[in-house]
Amino acid sequence: MVLTLSILGIIILLAGLFGTLALAGKGDQEYRKSTKQNVTRLTFIYLLLAVIIIIGFGLYFYL
């Protein structure tokens, strides 16, 4: 049960990351310039969250 929820959580996390990157690539030049920092921060948050989740699962299964 925990493994199923873990996999589902990772899939949702990846879908959010790819959705954010896909939407950021669309739009005009001015829009892309103004949102580049926001997309960079969101991508960093997704990657940081993924690392924390992986470490958490590792600790959970190890202990």
* 22-62 per-position pLDDT tens digit: 776 666 677 667 777 788 888 899 899 989 988 998 888 88
Residue 21 has pLDDT above 80, yes or no: no
Structure tokens at 23: 């939407």
pLDDT at 25: 66
- Does the reported pTM lie above 0.75? no
Measured CA to CA, the distance from residue 22 to residue 46 in angstroms comes to 14
> Closest Cα to residue 20, out of 6, 3, 49, 40?
40
Measured CA to CA, the distance from residue 44 to residue 63 in angstroms comes to 28
pLDDT at 1: 72
Q: Where are the alpha helices (DSSP H) in the chain?
A: 2-24, 29-62
Q: Where are the domains of the chain?
A: 2-62
pLDDT at 3: 80
pLDDT at 52: 92
